A and B are shown apart, each in its own frame.
Chain A
Amino acid sequence: MLLRELEYVKPDSVDEALEWLGRLSDAGLLAGGQSLINVLKMRIGGYQTLIDISKLEDLKRIEMVGQGIRIGAGVTYDELLHSPAISLYRPLLQEVALRIADPQVRNRGTVGGNCCYNDPTCHLPPYLTAIGATFEARGPKATRMILARDFFVSYYQTALAPGEMLVGVYVPIAKRGSGDGFRAMSVGGTDVLNIVAGASTVTLKEDGTIGDVAVVVTGVAEHPLRLDGVESQLVGSSPEPSDVRSLFSALDTARFDPVDDVHASAEYRLKMAPIFVRRALEQALDNARRGLRD
């Protein structure tokens, strides 16, 4: 509760924030702070200077851009929940956001923070990986777009270079015949702490077969894993529930290397991961089939 002495600066624009980020040697961005402030309280890390970007209007917009929705990195979970565009074009994102912590945290925690923190328990990295989001990173000189599968590098690490900041996330609009799924295993009670999570998106063709699918699991590796093997087996099929079950009961988990900690053993995570990723796919299929019917 008693933080180390800090310096604080509150820039008026993203450009100014970037300038501070470049100029100061040990500076970090303070957005919602719902993880960073805890780190500072425990004095286990953090920065000498905090650059407060929580009020930057440029980071707070949700807007339609082409075939996607651009969500400003500073948009809070609560703002996601209240966005008509999200509820129309990517409704599952709101279901996912509603499961993050509690109202107080949702009022301050941000989309950008969740992605940049990239803790294995975070909700957004697996989901955004599954739906193929793109991350807009601004550096002192240029802006670049990073695919989700490249953005989440390792525990607490992203593809952002020093001096770069995440300014927005592009979420594609859900196509007709597509559906999303997200299922997390929380330990310690409902929506308390996710030890593993599965996320999926499915796009069905008019004949009901799978045209496109992404299946992502988190909590078993240093970043969300796309299960390419499963995906390729699914494409072109119209799986029955029993097909999906057998696909996942035979899942190759050789790439899985979950942590073992006070929340759950590695062995349990390993057992749970296929179940929750399967359930995410089942939910995505249900949603997609419902979409196709309606």
Chain B
Amino acid sequence: MTEPVKSKRITVTVDGTEYTRTVEARTLLVRFIREELDHTGTHFGCDTGHCGSCSVLVDGKVVKSCMMLAIQADQAQITTVQGLAFQDGSLDPIQQAFSDHHAVQCGFCTPGMLMATEYLLSQNPHPTEEEIRRGIKGNLCRCTGYVNIVRAIQALGAQEEVIS
């Protein structure tokens, strides 16, 4: 039996790069990503798990990184907004659709919104409007009234092949 610890050395892979760091047990994953790894693309906008701007994929599932401890992510594969674009720097289809449909205004909720979309389409490549809205319900946006975000995802859903 391993004894309880106040901090621990963990290894996580974030956007394809493996990191080994010592983290305090109390550190939230979002703070680990932003403050320890300096991956500031992942944002946070609340302290109760409502806004979704800290959303990342942990082992392929979208989660709010303010709603889990960094120490729980030991050995996990994490994808953040900074890992979405293609190697050559060009936008992935979801990012491109958000730009094409003016689904980005201030860009602050965008990282989380993209991760929720990525997950939604991985589960359901052709969602209905209702399914889209349920898919991004955990992501608050104050700029767009969600209209163009839903449109961007609808356009992606209308395509044959979405996730490359």
CB distance from A44 to the nearest CB of B (A): 12
The verdict on A6 contacting B6 (CB below 8 Å), with A54-B72, A101-B138 known, is yes
Picked from B27, B44, B48, B55, the residue with its CB within 8 Å of the CB of A104 is B55
Note all chain B residues with C-beta closer than 8 A to A33: 67-69, 72
- Chain B 67-89, CB-CB to A under 8 Å as 1, else 0, gives 11101100000000000000000
Q: Does B64 contact A (CB under 8 A)?
A: yes
Cα(A23)–Cα(B90), bound, Å? 54
CB distance from A79 to the nearest CB of B (A): 10
The verdict on A9 contacting B2 (CB below 8 Å), with A1-B31, A98-B134, A108-B68 known, is yes
Q: Are B25 and A7 in contact (CB under 8 A)?
A: yes
Picked from B24, B44, B138, the residue with its CB within 8 Å of the CB of A1 is B44
Q: Which chain B residue lies CB-closest to A82?
A: B123
Count, chain B residues at interface, CB 8 A: 37
4 other A-B residue contacts (CB within 8 Å) besides A6-B25, A7-B25, A38-B48: A3-B27, A8-B8, A34-B49, A104-B63
Q: Are A108 and B1 in contact (CB under 8 A)?
A: no
Q: Which chain B residue lies CB-closest to A27?
A: B4
CB distance from A26 to the nearest CB of B (A): 11
Q: Does B102 contact A (CB under 8 A)?
A: no
9 nearest CB pairs, A to B: A102-B138, A8-B25, A3-B26, A7-B4, A9-B4, A107-B61, A6-B25, A6-B26, A102-B137
Note all chain B residues with C-beta closer than 8 A to A103: 62, 116, 119-120, 134-135, 137-138
| Chain A interface residue number, banded | 35 or more
CB neighbors of A among B100-128 (8 A): 116, 119-120
Q: Which chain A residue lies CB-closest to B6?
A: A7
Cα(A108)–Cα(B67), bound, Å? 9
